[in-house]
Structure 1
Amino acid sequence: MQFKTIIEPFRIKTVEPIRQTTREERERLLGEAGYNLFLLRAEDVLIDLLTDSGTGAMSSGQWAGMMLGDESYAGAKSFYKFEAAAQRITNFKHIIPTHQGRAAERILFGSLLKPGDIVANNTHFDTTRANVEYREATALDIPVSEGRDPSRVLPFKGNIDLDALERTLTDHAGHVPLAMITVTNNSGGGQPVSMANIRAASAICRRHGVLFFLDACRFAENAWFIKTREEGYADKTPLEIAQEMFSYADGCTMSAKKDGMANIGGFLALNDDALAEKCRNMLILTEGFPTYGGLAGYDLEAIAVGLEEVLHEDYLQYRIRSVAYLGDILTANGVPIVRPPGGHAIYIDALAMLPHVPQSQYPAWALSLALYLEGGIRSVEIGSVMFGRQPDGSEKPAAMELVRMAFPRRVYTQSHVDYLAEVILYVNGMKESIRGVRMVSAPETLRHFTARMEMVG
Structure 2
Amino acid sequence: MPLVLTSAMAGRGAARCGCIMPRPSPLFLMSILIFVLMLRDNYIIFPVRYFISIFNRNAKKTKRIKEMANVKFYAGESFPLEMHKVRIIQKLNLIPVEERGKAIAAAGNNTFLLQNRDVFMDMLTDSGVNAMSDRQLASMMQADDSYAGSETFTRLEKSVKNFFGCRYFLPAHQGRACENILSHAFVKPGYVVPMNYHFTTAKALITVNGGLVEELIIDEGLKIKSDNPFKGNIDIDKLNEVIGKYGVEKVAYVRMESGTNLVGGQPFSLSNYAEVSKICRDKKIPLVLDASLLADNLYFNKKREPSCKNMTLHEIVLKYAELSDIIYFSARKLGFARGGGICTNSNELFLKMRELVPLYEGFLTYGGMSVREMEAIAVGLDETLDEDMISQGPIFIDYMVKELDKRGIPVITPPGGLGCHVDAMSFLDHIPQNQYPAGALGSAYFIASGIRGMERGTLSEQRDADGSEHYSNMELLRLALPRRVFTLSQVNYAIDRLVWLYENRRLVEGLRFVEEPRILRFFFGRLEPVSDWQSKLIAKFRKDFGDSL
TM-score w.r.t. the length of structure 2 is: 0.82
- The answer for the alignment partner of 1:29 in structure 2 is 103
1:283-432 equivalences in 2 (<5 Å): 283-432=357-506
- The answer for the alignment partner of 1:252 in structure 2 is 327
Shift of residue 355 of structure 1? Answer: 0.9
Shift of residue 278 of structure 1? Answer: 2.8
Shift of residue 346 of structure 1? Answer: 0.7
Contact 1:133–1:391 (CA under 8 A) maintained in structure 2: no
- What SS does the aligned partner of 2:306 have? coil
- The answer for the alignment partner of 2:346 in structure 1 is 272
- Correspondence for 1:236 among 306, 311, 326: 311
- Correspondence for 2:509 among 435, 440, 448: 435
Shift of residue 281 of structure 1? Answer: 1.0
- Asked if residue 198 in structure 1 is aligned to residue 198 in structure 2, the reply is no
Contact 1:158–1:193 (CA under 8 A) maintained in structure 2: yes
| Unpaired runs of at least 5, structure 2 | 1-70, 532-549
Q: Quick check: 34-43 or 239-248, which moved more?
A: 239-248
Q: Distance in 1 between matches of 2:408 and 2:85?
A: 34
Shift of residue 81 of structure 1? Answer: 1.2
- The answer for the alignment partner of 1:137 in structure 2 is 211
Contact 2:431–2:437 (CA under 8 A) maintained in structure 1: yes
- Asked if residue 175 in structure 1 is aligned to residue 250 in structure 2, the reply is yes
Contact 2:260–2:266 (CA under 8 A) maintained in structure 1: yes
Q: Quick check: 189-198 or 87-96, which moved more?
A: 87-96
Shift of residue 274 of structure 1? Answer: 2.7
1:17-40 deviation per Cα after TM superposition (whole angstroms, max 9, x unaligned): 011101100111111111111111
1:325-378 deviation per Cα after TM superposition (whole angstroms, max 9, x unaligned): 001100000001110111221111111111100111111110011110010010
Shift of residue 388 of structure 1? Answer: 4.8
- What SS does the aligned partner of 1:454 have? strand
- The answer for the alignment partner of 1:71 in structure 2 is 145
In percent, how many aligned pairs have the same letter?
38
Shift of residue 215 of structure 1? Answer: 0.6
Q: Distance in 2 between matches of 1:417 and 1:453?
A: 28
Contact 2:462–2:521 (CA under 8 A) maintained in structure 1: no
Contact 2:126–2:418 (CA under 8 A) maintained in structure 1: yes
Contact 1:184–1:192 (CA under 8 A) maintained in structure 2: yes
Contact 1:65–1:301 (CA under 8 A) maintained in structure 2: yes
Residues 276/34 of structure 1: CA separation in 2 closer, same or farther (3 Å cut): same
- Correspondence for 1:147 among 215, 221, 235: 221
Contact 2:175–2:328 (CA under 8 A) maintained in structure 1: yes
Q: Distance in 1 between matches of 2:350 and 2:369?
A: 19
Contact 2:233–2:268 (CA under 8 A) maintained in structure 1: yes
| Unpaired runs of at least 5, structure 1 | none
Amino acid paired to 2:225: S
1:168-194 deviation per Cα after TM superposition (whole angstroms, max 9, x unaligned): 112211111200110011112100100
Contact 2:79–2:399 (CA under 8 A) maintained in structure 1: no
Shift of residue 148 of structure 1? Answer: 0.7
Q: Quick check: 188-197 or 270-279, which moved more?
A: 270-279
Amino acid paired to 2:294: F
1:81-230 equivalences in 2 (<5 Å): 81-173=155-247, 174-230=249-305
Shift of residue 391 of structure 1? Answer: 4.4
Shift of residue 85 of structure 1? Answer: 1.3
Amino acid paired to 2:279: I
Amino acid paired to 1:449: F
1:4-83 equivalences in 2 (<5 Å): 4-83=78-157
Amino acid paired to 1:353: F
Q: Distance in 2 between matches of 1:433 and 1:203?
A: 52
- What SS does the aligned partner of 2:239 have? helix
Amino acid paired to 1:426: W
Q: Distance in 2 between matches of 1:52 and 1:94?
A: 27
Contact 1:111–1:275 (CA under 8 A) maintained in structure 2: no
Amino acid paired to 2:391: Q
Contact 1:104–1:266 (CA under 8 A) maintained in structure 2: yes
Q: Distance in 1 between matches of 2:451 and 2:464?
A: 30
Contact 1:388–1:398 (CA under 8 A) maintained in structure 2: no
Q: Distance in 2 between matches of 1:32 and 1:350?
A: 23
Amino acid paired to 2:346: D
- What SS does the aligned partner of 2:492 have? helix
Q: Quick check: 369-378 or 273-282, which moved more?
A: 273-282
1:105-151 deviation per Cα after TM superposition (whole angstroms, max 9, x unaligned): 10111011111110111111111111111101112211100011111
Contact 2:264–2:417 (CA under 8 A) maintained in structure 1: no
Contact 2:163–2:314 (CA under 8 A) maintained in structure 1: yes
Contact 1:92–1:251 (CA under 8 A) maintained in structure 2: no
Bigger Rg, which one: 2
Shift of residue 299 of structure 1? Answer: 1.3
Amino acid paired to 2:409: V
- What SS does the aligned partner of 1:355 have? coil
Contact 1:220–1:238 (CA under 8 A) maintained in structure 2: no
- What SS does the aligned partner of 1:400 have? coil
